[in-house]
Structure 1
C-alpha cells in the first residue's frame, strides 16, 4: 500500500507512480488519439461536411448520455471503495481482538508454557488469514514451536481457530480457567472466524459481470462517437479533448477494479502482511 502525504499537491500532479492509471492507459490513449485524428481528417478534409450536417447534433446526445455515465461511474467507484473500507474495518477488528485476547490471557494464565502457546498461535491466525486471502501457500515454518499440523487440503484459518478454541477449552477443563473467564474469552475467540467470513465474502463476491461489462462497453462507445460531433466545433483540437475524456472515464473504472478486491497484491490493496506483523509484535509484547 502506498504511503503518501495528502497535502503534497506537486507530488500528485507531476509524479507518475508505477501504478498510475496514466501509464496503464497510455497505449490505449495513443490509439484513441489516432482514431480521433482520423475521424477529424475524414469529416474536415475528405468528406468536407458542412456545419448544417446532422452529424453535428451528435454532441447533444453525448451531453445527455454523459450525465448518465457519470452517475454509473460514481456508483461503481463508491461500491468498490465500500468493499475496500469494509475489508480494512474487518482487519482493524482482527487487530483489536488479537490484542484484547492477549491481554486477557496474560491476566488469566499463570503458566508460562500456556502463555507461550497463545503468544505464537494468535499472530499465526492473522498471518495464515493474510496468505489465505492472497492465495499464497502456507509455509510449515509458520508453525515452528507449535504442536500444530495444517492439512493443506482444508480451510487453513479454520484449522488455526479450531486449535485456538480447543486449547482454551482444555485450559478450562483442567481448571486453569474459570467458567466466567472462559465466557469472557468467547467473544474474541469467535470474532476471528467472523473476520475471516467478512473477508471471504468480499473476495469471493465480485461486482456482477454484466454490470462491469456494461460500464466498459458504455465508456468505449461513448468515447468512440465523441469525435463525430465535436469535430465541428473543435477541429483537430478534438484529438487531445477526446483522449483526456477517455483518460478520466477509464481511470475511474481502473481504480474501481483495483480496490474492489482489497486482498490482492496491487499497490493500493490492503497491507495485510504488515497488519499481521503488527499483531505479532503487539501480542509478543503483551504475553
Structure 2
C-alpha cells in the first residue's frame, strides 16, 4: 500500500472553525492546512439578512440608522429647499402676496414647507415624551405599578418665571439673524448697482474704434463678476456652466484655476483698465468702482465665515429642549392627557421661530441672486445694443440745435 505524499492534519469532515466560514457545497470539501498561528479571539460579526455583504455597510440596519431616518429625511428636504431658485417679485407676485386668501394658501402648502418638515423630528420626539409621561402617570394613578413609583408632577411657578426669558431669547436670536440677512441684501444691492454703473461708464468713455476689443473684454468681465460672486457664496454651484456663456474659453480657464474666483475677475478688470487709452481722471473714476467690488466681497465673506456666536445658538437650543422635556410634568395636574397636544403645539410654535432664525442666518440662499445676476447682464447687453442708436439720436439733436442758431449766437427766425 503506497503512502500519500500529502500529510493531512485536519480531516475533511472537520474544517477549521472560522466566524466567516460559509460552505457552498458540503460534498466538495477540501482539506485546508492548519494556520501557523492560532488566535484565541474570534470577532463576532452580526449582519443583516438583507445585506450579507460585509463590504457594503450602507445596507446594514441598526437602531441608530432607524432613529436617524426621520431627521435625515427632514434635512434632505430642507437642503433641497435651500437650493431652490428664488424669483424676484413682480407686480403680479405682490398682488398674490397680499391677497386675502394667502392664509388658506399658506395652510394648504404646509406639508411642502421645508420649515414645517424640519420641525417634524423635535415635535415627534417631544410628543413621544409627553405620551410616555402621561402613560406612566396614568399607570401610577390606576395602581398598575408598585406604590413606590411617584406621580411626575411639578409647580408651574418656574415656568411662569422663565417664560419671558425664553421669549426674549428667541426674539433676540431672530433679530440677530435678520440683521445678517439685511446686511447681505444691502451688500448685493450695492454690488449690482456698481456693476451697472461701471458698465455704463465703460460704454460711455471707451472708444469703439481704438479700444473695441478691450471694451468688449472688460464688459464681459463686469458681467462675470456678480455671477462668480454668486457661485462663491452658494453651495454646490456650477460656475463653469454659469460663466461659459459670458467669458471666453481662455479667460474661463484662468478663472477656474484660481482659488478665489471673484478676486480673479477683479484682476482681469483692473489689468484691462490699464490698457485702455483713457484720460487719467476717467481711469481713476473706473478704478474707484472696483473698490466697491472688494468691499462687497469682504462683507459677503465675513457673513459666510462668521455665524452668530455659537454659545448663543446652543443656549437657545438647550433652553428649548429642557423646557419641552419638563413641560408634560408641569402641566399634568391641570391638563392630564391634554399635555400631549399642548406639548406638540408648543414645540411646533417655539421651534419654528428658532428654525426661521437659523435659516435666515445664512442670507445668500434666501436671496434671488441668480435673478439679480441675470438682470445685471441683461441691462449691460441692452446698454451695448442701444449705444449706437442713442449716440446717433444725440448727435442729430445737436446738429438741429446748431442749425437753429445764427453765427452771432442769436436764434434765427423762421421766415414766413
Q: Which TM class, normalised by the smaller chain length?
A: 0.7 to 0.9
One of 264, 274, 291 as aligned partner of 1:169: 274
One of 102, 109, 123 as aligned partner of 1:29: 123
Relative to 1, partners in 2 of residues 1:154 and 1:160: Cα closer, same or farther, differing over 3 Å? same
The reply to whether residue 127 of structure 1 matches residue 227 of structure 2 is yes
| Contact 1:123–1:279, Cα closer than 8 Å, also in 2 | yes
Aligned partner of residue 244 in structure 2, secondary structure: helix
User: Partner residue of 2:361?
Assistant: 260
| Rounded Cα–Cα distance in structure 1 between residues aligned with 2:97 and 2:370 | 24
One of 26, 33, 56 as aligned partner of 2:154: 56
| Contact 2:177–2:360, Cα closer than 8 Å, also in 1 | yes
| Rounded Cα–Cα distance in structure 2 between residues aligned with 1:54 and 1:40 | 9
User: Partner residue of 1:39?
Assistant: 133
| Rounded Cα–Cα distance in structure 2 between residues aligned with 1:70 and 1:77 | 11
The runs of at least 4 aligned residues of structure 1 exceeding 6 Å deviation read: none
Answer with 185-194 or 120-129: which moved more. 185-194
Q: Deviations over 1:189-225 (max 9, x none)?
A: 2111111111000000012222211211110010110
Q: Offset at 1:77?
A: 0.6
| Contact 1:117–1:146, Cα closer than 8 Å, also in 2 | no
| Rounded Cα–Cα distance in structure 1 between residues aligned with 2:376 and 2:142 | 69
Q: Any residues of structure 2 matched to 1:72-151 within 5 Å, and which?
A: 72-111=169-208, 112-135=212-235, 136=237, 138-139=239-240, 141=244, 144-145=247-248, 148=251, 149-150=254-255
User: Partner residue of 1:158?
Assistant: 263
**Cα RMSD after superposing both structures:** 2.3
| Rounded Cα–Cα distance in structure 2 between residues aligned with 1:54 and 1:253 | 28
Q: Offset at 1:124?
A: 0.4
Gaps of 5+ in 1: none
Q: Any residues of structure 2 matched to 1:147-226 within 5 Å, and which?
A: 148=251, 149-150=254-255, 152-171=257-276, 176-226=277-327
User: Partner residue of 1:6?
Assistant: 97
| Rounded Cα–Cα distance in structure 2 between residues aligned with 1:132 and 1:261 | 14
Q: Of the two, which has the highest radius of gyration?
A: 2
Q: Deviations over 1:91-126 (max 9, x none)?
A: 111111111111111111112323322321111011
User: Partner residue of 2:162?
Assistant: 65
User: Partner residue of 2:53?
Assistant: none
Gaps of 5+ in 2: 1-85, 144-150, 385-416
Q: Deviations over 1:111-147 (max 9, x none)?
A: 2323322321111011111111124353272564375
| Rounded Cα–Cα distance in structure 2 between residues aligned with 1:6 and 1:63 | 37
Answer with 98-107 or 184-193: which moved more. 184-193
| Contact 1:84–1:260, Cα closer than 8 Å, also in 2 | yes
**TM-score (norm: length of structure 2):** 0.62
Q: Offset at 1:235?
A: 1.7
Answer with 238-247 or 153-162: which moved more. 153-162
| Contact 1:120–1:146, Cα closer than 8 Å, also in 2 | no
**TM-score (norm: length of structure 1):** 0.87
Aligned partner of residue 153 in structure 2, secondary structure: helix
Q: Deviations over 1:34-68 (max 9, x none)?
A: 2212212323441479xxx99331x2111211211
Query: Which structure has more helix as a fraction of its residues?
Result: 1
Q: Which has the higher contact order (CA 8 A, sep 6+)?
A: 1
